Amino acid sequence: MIPELGHFALIIAFAVAIVQSIVPLIGAARNDAAMISMARVASVTQLLFVGLAYAALTHAFIVHDFSVLYVSQHSNLVQPLMYRISGVWGSHEGSLLLWALILSIWTVAVAAYSRNLPDILMARVLAVMGMISVGFLAFMLFTSNPFERLFPAPLDGNELNPLLQDPGLAFHPPMLYMGYVGFSVAFAFAVAALLGGKLDATWARWSRPWTTIAWSFLTFGIALGSWWAYNELGWGGWWFWDPVENASFMPWLVGTALIHSLASTEKRGVFKSWTVLLAILAFSLSLLGTFIVRSGVLVSVHAFATDPSRGVFILAFLVVVVGGSLALYAWRSGAVISYGRFQWFSRETALLLNNIIFLTAAGAVFVGTMYPLVVDAFGIGKISVGRPYFDTMFSLVSIPLLLLLGLGPLVRWKGDSWQRVLKSVWALFVISLVVGLLLPFLIEGELRIATGLGLAGALWVTLTTLKDMFARLAKSRRLPLAYAGMVIAHLGVAMFVAGVTITMSYSLEKDLRMVPGSEYDIAGYSFHFMGTRKAQGVNYDANEAVIEIWRDSKKVGELHPQKRVYSGKSNPMTEASIDKTFFRDLYAALGEELDDGAWSMRVYYKPLIRWIWLGSILMTLGGVLAVSDRRYRQSVKQKISDRLSPAGA
């Protein structure tokens, strides 16, 4: 009964979404207050019903209602409660429901926190978000109903893919979706501004905090996914350039360009149509991300759903949303007048360069991800673009990016003298370069240019960022939160770059055949294989190896990698065991049992790998801090009158 109620709630939500996407628009056109106020009412009603549907599906998972097809496919009796709850978004249908739920939450949040917005604009923004919701709810109802019944109901269900039973992955999709869907707010604001024909700088101010917080979620979500892959896939890697990963990375790159471009538009009124285009692009790539992951156009280790009818639907949806908004852009952006002026050496130029670099990177990822598809479409053959391509592209892009990241915040808006900036940073530049290039020599007694440049870049960003911060602190004792957020995010980038550089240059790995009692030395650590024992979890049995780690005749840790067999599955899963410290990880993955008690095993030494995720967390934190800035909580109307744009613009 409850699943039917959930299904019914979904249908009502669909109807409400249609109302939400049409009525307020008519209201805005006719200036009809009653119709305009429908936007808020509809968005709250929609959240209520999507929430009900979501609760109904969660309930079916919790009480093991295997008569629901989706539940029987993704959970069984022994699955722990946490993974029954996260099982809701473990596959296609449920993750769409999560998408829709998060979209409703964002919509209501926009309605609630933007009370100071002009009503007509608000109506348009909520209507655009309603249209996106119509698309997703229709997708669910017509092609992927999560409440479909199974008759007769099985006594037990299939299990959720054991790979997905990890806290890192349990929270990865919700975070990622918070980011993806969050970009819909910037998109909705951009489209609403285009619809109104009034594309001034104010829309940038309104959508900026929403975009920044969406970006923070996305950053955190991607970091969680990378952390999961490292912990769970047992390959010791943290990023695989897998199409599914790229699908989340492209919106991140464009989103990063967008938050920087929004800064120029908000502060100086420049790059207006460009920023609108970026907002459309960021959300389009979020939709494309969903498309790539869900339609199976690209082959991937993640291999979720493959169903052409769904793919066709998503493609049609993409055409309407992206094509529609780009057509609107083509039609309306002719009226945009930019009134900001700036010299070639200025913060505006730096931010423009930032945008160019991020879009180049996004373009490179896009080509690398889509090129195989294009080649295929022409029937030339099937190829896959590998790691070397992406690694090379990103090494090339990161050098100018880091150089710019150090310089940009030091350059003033409108125009600056390059002699002044150069004078203030040349010493830092030389120090970074010399120390960075010397470090590999000190670590290993070997000169490595690429490693040295990576470290120099990280050092350069750290030094210039700190220098600027101290210079500001000297002037006033308090730093605005928005500025503090930027500093932390940029330091996060430096930390990330240092982590990537060191991990990629100095990681060691070894495939071993070990008998109990044998030992192996790697990077000054000695791995002693003590033997294996049986271990048991709630829903799996495992062989567990005990490996003691010794350094300088002192035991520093113990690893327990496992080979698990989950109930209901017969192929064993590898559960790596990792000894984590701030400066290095020691990682062991258990292979197969060989003859006479020996086991195949893989061990890794990964220096500074934690910095990759800590750096990402700093970036996330920076975004959150920036949004907490007071100016976003001030009356927006006040601000509009402060910075009224010229008549007619």
The minimum distance between CB 592 and other proteins, in angstroms, equals 4
Nearer to other proteins, 14 or 139 (CB): 139
Among residues 524 and 648, whose Cβ is nearest to other proteins?
648
Residue 251: CB atoms within 10 Å: 29
Chain-centroid distance of CA 640 in Å reads 32
Minimum CB distance to other proteins smaller for 349 or for 505: 349
**Closest to 25 in 3D by CA, of 136, 139, 119:** 119
Residue 346 or 505: which CB sits closer to other proteins?
346
**Residue closer to other proteins (CB basis): 388 or 646:** 646
- Residue 647 has a CB neighbour count (10 Å cut-off) of 5
Residue from 219, 254, 243, 255 nearest 295 by CA = 243
Q: Tell me how far, at minimum, the Cβ of 338 lies from other proteins, in Å.
A: 4
Q: How far apart are CA 228 and CA 233, in angstroms?
A: 8
Indicate the helix (H) or strand (E) that contains 510: strand 508-514
Residue with tokens 């429908």: 38
**Shortest Cβ 279–other proteins spacing (Å):** 12
Strands 562-566 and 540-551: antiparallel
In 3-state terms, what secondary structure has residue 298? coil
Residue 270 CA to residue 243 CA, distance in Å, equals 34
For other proteins, the closer of residues 322 and 411 by Cβ is 322
- Min dist CB 486 to other proteins, Å, is 27
Closer residue to other proteins in complex, CB, 97/250: 250
Nearest distance, CB of residue 548 and other proteins, angstroms: 25
Between the two ends of the chain, the Cα-to-Cα distance in Å is 56
Structure tokens at 595: 């003859």
Q: Give 414's Cβ-side CA count (13 Å radius).
A: 2
Judged by beta carbon, residue 40 or residue 602, the one nearer other proteins is 602
**203 closest CA partner among 181, 183, 188:** 188
Of 308 and 386, the one with the shorter C-beta distance to other proteins is 308
The least CB distance from residue 285 to other proteins, in Å, is 11
Cβ atoms 563, 102 nearer than 8 A: no
CA dist 17 and 42 (Å) reads 7
Smallest distance from other proteins to CB 568, Å:
10
Minimum distance of other proteins from residue 24's CB (angstroms):
26
Find the shortest distance in angstroms from Cβ 241 to other proteins: 17
Give yes or no for a contact between 612 and 584, defined as CB atoms under 8 angstroms apart. no
Interacting residues toward other proteins by CB under 8 A: 273, 277, 280-281, 284, 291, 295-299, 306, 308, 311-312, 315, 318-319, 322-323, 326-327, 329-331, 333-334, 336-341, 370, 373-374, 376-377, 381-382, 384, 569-571, 591-592, 600, 646
User: At its nearest, how many Å lie between other proteins and the CB of residue 144?
Assistant: 16
In whole angstroms, what is the distance from residue 246 CA to residue 239 CA?
10
Select 84 or 564, whichever has its Cβ closest to other proteins: 564
Instruction: Give long-range contacts, CB 8 A cutoff, 24+ apart: 555-560.
Output: 556/525, 557/586, 559/527, 559/586, 559/588, 560/535
Q: Closer CB to other proteins, residue 8 or residue 235?
A: 235
The two structure tokens encoding residue 205: 């101010």
User: Under a CB-based contact definition with an 8 Å cutoff, are residues 632 and 512 in contact?
Assistant: no
Report in angstroms how near the CB of residue 315 gets to other proteins at its nearest. 6
Rounded (5°) CA angle 385-239-278: 75
